[in-house]
């Protein structure tokens, strides 16, 4: 060992210089290809993130900056006021009223929407004649502009002259005060939202349903499960990831609801007693009605925080559900 | 998620493009000015209006008179839409038309930024308009930011057939005699009517009636320095209580909110018998009450004259062709042209000379039982005595007040006292 060691050690010292060069050259081209492998995926997706930085991140941060100042829509930047705008807004009854309305409309729209969408998807998944016609049919409401939907439903839900109330009176019930009673107005607005989005969600569910292997159903049929049992024990559990996706997108959309509530009356402020003023409408009232961008930005940031909190809660809950699914 | 992201990306790209375009577009603004030469160089002027200004034919006429001018008309459907457009582009500093139509309600908030608008005061147009019309558009330093177009002198529109049924005099002159006097007289006549009318209300809405009353108060919500006095002003509180007493306690109101679907539909169902109506309201009533016979208009307004609405043409300083734009605005708002607009769309002129023109005075309206509407409205315009002071917060405070009235009159969510408390809170938050 000792002898061979002695014999063999010198050569490397003699040959070190040329070998090093080739090693270096090799290392550099290796590095380049390493970078290529490591970096190019990021480069490929970077356009989205660059755009996001311009259209998403920058407005977000700039809104935070605006919210710390007194800021007029036309007059522009005023003094730095710290958290004053937040303190002011949090002390406003209209703010908390808007938070309540937003959640109420969100729940009244999202929950029935998901349930009905799954039911429609299940029907569409069955063997129907003119399948494409029915499938495209459920998407038609989604194509209608929200403001047009608002105009149509406004007519239906007018307090004295509306079709819905006339029908209620026709069958001997009391007319509902759609524009005076808070909960009634939320239900009416939720109806518009559901009209628009249920079909869209139904198609997403339908796509997911068709991805469920048919042999699972065959096995269930052999085990003696009826249609209903199959739906609840096979279809719904297999749809879980899709349901999670739909719930999360519905949450983000629902908390930002604006169009349908805004066109629910002509003034667009959410009613004389702010019966259906949502958070985004409150932002609009502060920013464009009162031209106080500082306060409007403060509410925008509070809304952002609320959405982040809800999204995190959503994530935790759905992860637990997903884990349970995995164990089964 | 993917589709949403893609839509976001697309709209972002569109926005970038739009930004780039407007940035290019505003480049020429620097060498412009109201004092510049106007002449033979080809120029395209954009004019932003809303609702019906009645200018379509006038634009063609002007283009024929001035072959070098091309006019591009940008028409917004509602005044709210026009206001949003105006404020957003004022804030952005570009994108406005060379001439922008504005409504009297937004004047106070715009008067706060006089350097955004060209000074239009000019000896040539002095005395062209009714005094109160010009006064409302003039800053403290004497800068005139807009040329008056139309005005909204108010009379009382009424249903002669329903009056007759309730045993009230129904011809124009007797009705004017009966309603002449204070608001209390108007409400008292209403009580008499409602007692005999079998469920027909006296007026449409507490808010609309309040609007007529508050426009006769010199300093309703703000003192001349702009300090808010709305919640301490006993005049405001008195009118508030008087109109709610009449609407709710005495049951004179049809409990409607102006412009809502129910209000529009109510014209077909004999819901009420009178309505305060500025000139531009005649067309609205005619449209909503199509097929209903019996509407008429009386040459009277409770509590003195009153004006509701009316517009101005302004020239934003961000425009590139201010001199040419001023020439066009001056031409459009001249009495001769404004009379033509009146004939075309019923926008009642605010120019002194126009009020004496035969074309205007001879105007009758078939829907309103052939009433001489031109003459009646001209009388109503000269009867206006008070120019209410409207400071920067007028619009917002009046909005809060309208909601306070709606809560009691229409929604019934509050009684007058609790609704007033909410009004005080809302004003405090401005």
Distance CA A210, CA A239 (A): 10
B96-118 b/e (C-beta count within 10 Å ≥ 16 → b):
bbbbbbbbbbbbbbbbeebebbb
Residue A323: predicted pLDDT: 64
Distance CA A174, CA B69 (A): 61
Distance CA B179, CA B182 (A): 8
pLDDT at B23 over 70: no
In chain B, residues 244-283 whose CB comes closer than 8 Å to chain A: 256-257, 259-262, 265-266, 269
pLDDT at B12 over 60: no
Question: Which of B368, B309, B329 minimizes the C-alpha distance to B150?
Answer: B309
Residue B38: predicted pLDDT: 55
Q: Where are the alpha helices (DSSP H) in B26-140?
A: 56-65, 79-92, 107-111, 131-136
Distance CA B90, CA B106 (A): 13
Residue A42 forms contact with B (CB below 8 Å): no
Residue A24: predicted pLDDT: 65
Distance CA B117, CA B104 (A): 15
What is the pTM for the complete model shown? 0.79
pLDDT at A42 over 50: yes
Residue B51 forms contact with A (CB below 8 Å): no
CB contact set of B31 (below 8 Å; sequence gap of 6+): none
Residue B135's pLDDT band, with cuts at 50, 70 and 90, is confident
Angle of helix A293-327 versus helix A240-255 axis, rounded to 10: 170
Residue B18's pLDDT band, with cuts at 50, 70 and 90, is very low
CB contact set of A259 (below 8 Å; sequence gap of 6+): A146, A147, A150
CA B372 to chain centre: 22
Which whole number is the average pLDDT over A95-100?
Answer: 95
Angle of helix A163-170 versus helix A146-156 axis, rounded to 10: 30
pLDDT at B123 over 50: yes
Which whole number is the average pLDDT over B25-53?
Answer: 64
In chain A, what percentage of residues exceed pLDDT 70? 90
CA B202 to chain centre: 23
Residues of A in contact with B94 (CB under 8 A): none
Provide the β-strand partners of residue B125.
none
Mind listing the pLDDT tens digit for each residue in A190-218? 999 999 899 999 999 999 999 999 999 99
Residue A189: predicted pLDDT: 94
Residue B5's pLDDT band, with cuts at 50, 70 and 90, is very low
Residue A287 forms contact with B (CB below 8 Å): no
Identify the residue whose tokens are 């090093």. A20
Residue A21's pLDDT band, with cuts at 50, 70 and 90, is low
Q: Where are the alpha helices (DSSP H) in B247-334?
A: 261-266, 279-288, 322-332
Residue A23: predicted pLDDT: 61
* CA distance, residue A285 to nearest chain B CA (Å): 10
Distance CA B203, CA B159 (A): 11
The three-point CA angle A98-A99-A100 to 5° equals: 90
pLDDT at B6 over 70: no
Residue A322: predicted pLDDT: 62
Structure tokens at B142: 């004497």
pLDDT at A270 over 70: yes
* CA distance, residue A99 to nearest chain B CA (Å): 17
pLDDT at A10 over 80: no
Residue B116 forms contact with A (CB below 8 Å): yes
CA B352 to chain centre: 19
* CA distance, residue A17 to nearest chain B CA (Å): 54
Residue B406: predicted pLDDT: 94
Mutate one of A181, A272, A277 to test the B interface: name it (highest B CB count within 10 A).
A272
Residue A265 forms contact with B (CB below 8 Å): yes
Residue B309's pLDDT band, with cuts at 50, 70 and 90, is confident
Residue B414 forms contact with A (CB below 8 Å): yes
Which whole number is the average pLDDT over B381-385?
Answer: 87
Residue A40's pLDDT band, with cuts at 50, 70 and 90, is confident
DSSP A239: T
Question: Which of B277, B337, B346 minimizes the C-alpha distance to B307?
Answer: B277
pLDDT at B40 over 90: no
Select the residue of A74, A273, A275 nearest B90 (Cβ to Cβ). Answer: A74
Among A144-148, B310-314, B377-381, which stretch is predicted with the lowest mean pLDDT? A144-148
Q: Do A293 and A287 form a contact (C-beta atoms < 8 A)? A: yes
Angle of helix B234-244 versus helix B416-428 axis, rounded to 10: 140
Among A134-138, A233-237, B11-15, B117-121, which stretch is predicted with the lowest mean pLDDT? B11-15
B257/A265 CB distance under 8 A:
yes
């Amino acid at each position: 060992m000792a002898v061979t060691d002695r014999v063999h050690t010198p050569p490397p010292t003699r040959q070190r210089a040329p070998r090093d060069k080739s090693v270096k050259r090799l290392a550099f081209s290796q590095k380049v290809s390493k970078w290529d492998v490591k970096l190019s995926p990021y480069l490929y997706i970077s356009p989205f993130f660059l755009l996001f930085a311009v259209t998403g991140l920058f407005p977000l941060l700039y809104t935070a900056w605006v919210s710390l100042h007194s800021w007029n829509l036309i007059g522009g930047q005023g003094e730095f006021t710290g958290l004053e705008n937040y303190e002011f807004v949090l002390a406003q009854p209209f703010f908390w009223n808007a938070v309540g309305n937003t959640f109420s409309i969100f729940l009244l729209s999202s929950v029935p929407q998901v349930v009905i969408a799954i039911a429609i998807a299940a029907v569409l998944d069955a063997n129907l004649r003119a399948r494409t016609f029915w499938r495209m049919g459920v998407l038609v409401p989604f194509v209608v502009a929200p403001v047009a939907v608002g105009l149509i439903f406004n007519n239906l839900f007018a307090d004295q002259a509306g079709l819905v109330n006339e029908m209620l009176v026709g069958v001997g019930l009391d007319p509902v005060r759609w524009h005076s009673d808070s909960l009634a107005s939320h239900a009416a607005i939720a109806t518009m939202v559901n009209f628009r989005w249920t079909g869209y969600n139904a198609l997403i569910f339908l796509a997911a349903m068709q991805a469920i292997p048919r042999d699972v159903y065959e096995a269930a049929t052999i085990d003696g499960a009826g249609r209903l049992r199959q739906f609840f024990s096979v279809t719904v559990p297999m749809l879980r990831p899709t349901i999670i996706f739909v719930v999360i997108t519905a949450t983000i959309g629902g908390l930002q609801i604006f169009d349908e509530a805004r066109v629910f009356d002509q003034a667009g402020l959410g009613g004389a007693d702010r019966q259906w003023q949502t958070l985004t409408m409150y932002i609009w009232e502060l920013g464009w009605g009162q031209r106080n961008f500082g306060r409007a930005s403060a509410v925008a940031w509070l809304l952002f925080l609320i959405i982040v909190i809800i999204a995190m809660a959503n994530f935790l809950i759905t992860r637990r559900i997903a884990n349970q699914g995995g164990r089964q | 998620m993917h589709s949403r992201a893609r839509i976001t990306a697309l709209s972002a790209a569109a926005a970038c493009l739009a930004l780039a375009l407007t940035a290019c577009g505003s480049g020429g603004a620097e060498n412009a000015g109201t004092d510049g030469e106007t002449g033979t160089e080809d120029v395209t002027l954009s004019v932003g209006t809303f609702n019906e200004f009645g200018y379509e034919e006038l634009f063609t006429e002007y283009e024929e008179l001035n072959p070098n001018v091309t006019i591009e008309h940008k028409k917004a459907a509602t005044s709210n839409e026009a206001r949003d457009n105006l404020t957003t582009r004022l804030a952005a500093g570009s994108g406005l038309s060379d001439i922008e139509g504005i409504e009297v309600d937004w004047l106070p908030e715009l008067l706060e930024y006089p350097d955004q608008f060209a000074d239009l005061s000019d000896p040539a147009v002095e005395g062209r308009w009714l005094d109160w019309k010009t006064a409302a558009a003039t800053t403290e330093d004497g800068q005139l930011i807009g040329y008056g177009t139309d005005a909204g002198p108010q009379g009382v529109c009424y249903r002669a057939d329903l009056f007759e049924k309730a045993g009230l005099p129904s011809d124009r002159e007797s009705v004017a005699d009966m309603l002449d006097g204070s608001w209390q007289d108007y409400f008292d006549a209403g009580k008499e009517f409602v007692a005999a009318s079998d469920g027909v209300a006296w007026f449409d809405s507490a808010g609309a009636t309040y609007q007529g009353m508050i426009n006769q108060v010199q300093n309703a919500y703000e003192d001349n320095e702009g300090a808010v006095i709305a919640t301490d002003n006993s005049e405001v509180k008195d009118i508030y209580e008087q109109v709610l007493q009449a609407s709710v306690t005495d049951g004179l109101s049809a409990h409607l909110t102006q412009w809502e679907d129910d209000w529009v539909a109510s014209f077909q169902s004999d819901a009420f018998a009178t309505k305060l109506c500025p000139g531009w309201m005649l067309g609205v009533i005619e449209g909503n009450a199509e097929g209903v016979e019996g509407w008429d208009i009386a040459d009277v307004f409770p509590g003195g004259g009153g004006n509701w609405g009316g517009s101005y043409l302004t020239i934003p300083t961000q425009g590139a062709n201010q001199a040419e734009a001023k020439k066009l605005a001056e031409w459009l708002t001249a009495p001769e042209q404004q009379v033509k607009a009146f004939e075309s769309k019923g926008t009642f002129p605010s120019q002194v000379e126009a009020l004496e023109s035969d074309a205007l005075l001879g105007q009758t309206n078939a829907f309103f039982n052939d009433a001489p509407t031109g003459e009646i409205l001209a009388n109503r315009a000269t009867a206006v005595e008070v120019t209410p002071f409207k400071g920067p917060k007028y619009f917002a405070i009046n909005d809060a007040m309208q909601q306070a009235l709606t809560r009691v009159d229409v929604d019934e969510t509050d009684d007058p006292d609790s609704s007033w408390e909410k009004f005080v809170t809302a004003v405090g938050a401005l």
